[in-house]
Homo-oligomer: A and B are copies of this chain.
Amino acid sequence: MANAPDVHICEAGPRDGLQNLDIFIPTEAKRALIDAIVAAGVREIDAGSFVPPKVVPQFADVEIVMAHALTHKDATIGALVPNFKGAERAIAAGVDAIYFVISVSETHNQANVRRTIEEQLEGFRAVRAAIDARPAGNRPHLMGGISTAFGCSMEGRIGEGSVRRLAAAYAEAGADEIGLADTVGYATPPLIKQIVQGVRRDLGPAMSLRLHLHDTLGMGLANAVAGLEAGIRRFDAAVSGLGGCPFAPGARGNIVTEDLVFMLEEMGLSTGIGLDRLMATRAILSAHIPARHLTGHLHEAGIPKA
C-alpha cells in the first residue's frame, strides 16, 4: 500500500456479476467472494445493489453482505443505487461509495429504473443533498454512472452530445466522479476515445472518470486500452467475466478482471492486485454458478510461466 497503483480497478463481480443470474448465490458465498477479492489486493468493490428484492431477488441480502464487506477497512465498498430510496438504504448501511445510474438511452432508462432521464437527475440531486446534509468525514463518494454511453441494444447508436450533456448535468449536480458504462458492450476503441476525450474537454482535468466495459463482442480489452490511451486510470471489471444487465437485451459479461490485470501488468502498469489470489475466486464461483457463465482467457490458458 506504499504507492498507489498506476491503474485503479473496481471489482464489480459481486454486483454486476451476480445481478443477471437466475441463481441465488448464498450469502456466505457472497461474503467469501468479497473476502477473496480483498485478499487479492483489490481496493474497491461494487458489492451489491440497493434495489427492491422483488426487482432483483439476488440482492435480498444486500444489507448483510454490505455489513460484512464494510469490515474490510482497506477497501472502498460501494453499492449501486437506482433511485433516492436505494441511496437512503445505502447511506444507512454505511457504504463508502454510491454508484447512481442514469442511461443516456431513454428507452433503457425506462426499462432499468422506470423513470425519465430528467426524473433520474432530480433523484441524483436529492441524493447529493442527502449526502451533503451528513457530517463531513462521513459522506460517501458519489459517482454519476452513465449507462449505455456507447450504444444501446434497444435504441442503437447513442449520440456523443447526449453523453456529454448527461455528464455535464451530473457534474453540475455535484457528482464526485463520472462513470461511463458500455452497458451492452457495443463500444469500439475509436468511440471510447471520442467520448472520453469529449467528456474530458467539457469537465476539465479535475473530474474523476471511470470506464465500465462489457465484452459482448470481443472488444473489451481493446476498449480498455483505448481508455488508457485517452487517460482513463479507473476501470470496473468482474472476476471470471461475470455480468450482464437484466434490462438490456444482448448484454454479456464485464471485461474479465483477471485478464485486465494481466494485460496491465504486462504493459508495465501496476494494479496492486495479485493474480494468483485473484484467480482463486474462481473456485468460490464454480461452487454455485454453471461453467457457461464463467469466462476468462487466463483461466483457460493458465498464467504464462515466461
Q: Which residues of A contact B (CB under 8 A)?
A: 151-157, 184-186, 188-190, 215-222, 224-226, 250, 252, 256, 259, 262-263, 266-268, 296-298, 300-302, 304-306
A297: which B residues are within 8 A, CB to CB? 215-218, 252
Chain B residue nearest in CB terms to A296: B218
Chain B residue nearest in CB terms to A223: B222
Complex contact B188–A267 (CB within 8 A): yes
**C-alpha gap A171/B155 in the complex (Å):** 51
Chain B residue nearest in CB terms to A186: B304
A266: which B residues are within 8 A, CB to CB? 188
Complex contact B250–A218 (CB within 8 A): no
Complex contact A250–B217 (CB within 8 A): no
Q: How far is the CB of A29 from chain B (nearest CB, A)?
A: 26
- Interface centre among A154, A262, A304, by most chain B C-beta atoms within 10 angstroms, is A304
**C-alpha gap A280/B85 in the complex (Å):** 49
A301-B250 contact given A225-B225, A263-B219, A306-B157, CB 8 Å threshold: yes
- Interface centre among A222, A296, A300, by most chain B C-beta atoms within 10 angstroms, is A222
A298-B221 contact given A155-B306, A157-B306, A188-B266, CB 8 Å threshold: no
Q: How far is the CB of A189 from chain B (nearest CB, A)?
A: 5
A218-B304 contact given A225-B225, A225-B226, A226-B225, CB 8 Å threshold: no
Complex contact B221–A304 (CB within 8 A): no
Other contacts beyond A157-B306, A190-B268, A221-B222: 11, CB < 8 A: A156-B306, A186-B306, A217-B304, A218-B221, A218-B263, A218-B298, A219-B259, A219-B263, A222-B222, A222-B224, A252-B300
Checking B153, B217, B224, B267 against A263 with a beta-carbon cut-off of 8 angstroms, the contacting residue is: B217
Chain B residue nearest in CB terms to A259: B218
Checking B189, B218, B301 against A267 with a beta-carbon cut-off of 8 angstroms, the contacting residue is: B189
Complex contact A222–B263 (CB within 8 A): yes
A221: which B residues are within 8 A, CB to CB? 218-219, 221-222
Complex contact B189–A301 (CB within 8 A): no
A296: which B residues are within 8 A, CB to CB? 218
Complex contact B304–A153 (CB within 8 A): yes
A301: which B residues are within 8 A, CB to CB? 185, 216-217, 250, 252
Chain B residue nearest in CB terms to A252: B301
10 A–B pairs (Cβ distance < 8 Å), ordered by A: A153-B304, A153-B305, A186-B304, A189-B225, A216-B301, A217-B301, A218-B263, A218-B296, A225-B225, A250-B304
Q: Kindly list the 7 A-B residue pairs having the minimum CB-CB distance in the complex, ordered from nearest.
A: A156-B306, A218-B297, A222-B222, A218-B259, A221-B222, A188-B266, A222-B225
A259: which B residues are within 8 A, CB to CB? 217-219
**C-alpha gap A220/B220 in the complex (Å):** 10
**C-alpha gap A224/B221 in the complex (Å):** 11
A153: which B residues are within 8 A, CB to CB? 304-306
Chain B residue nearest in CB terms to A292: B300
Q: How far is the CB of A239 from chain B (nearest CB, A)?
A: 14
